[in-house]
Amino acid sequence: MIVEYIRYTIPADRRDAFERGYAEAGRALDTSAHCLAYELARCAEDATQYVLRIEWDSAEGHLQGFRRSPQFRPFFAAIGPFVNDISEMRHYELTSVVGCRAPQSTTPS
The CATH number that applies at residue 7 is 3.30.70.100
Quick check: is 13 in a domain?
A: yes
Quick check: is 104 in a domain?
A: no
- Judge whether 85 and 13 are in contact, CB under 8 Å: no
The span from the CA of 72 to the CA of 29, in Å, is 8
If one counts the domains in the chain, the total is 1
Whether the model clears a pTM of 0.85, i.e. scores above it, the answer is yes
Quick check: is 99 in a domain?
A: no
End-to-end Cα distance, the chain: 40
- Opening angle at CA 88, ends 31 and 41, nearest 5: 55
Quick check: is 60 in a domain?
A: yes
Full domain range(s) for residue 45: 2-92
Quick check: is 101 in a domain?
A: no
Quick check: is 109 in a domain?
A: no
Chain segment 29-65, per-residue pLDDT in tens: 999 999 999 999 999 999 999 999 999 999 999 999 9
The span from the CA of 107 to the CA of 19, in Å, is 34
Confidence of residue 80 (pLDDT cuts 50, 70, 90): very high
Quick check: is 106 in a domain?
A: no
The span from the CA of 8 to the CA of 13, in Å, is 14
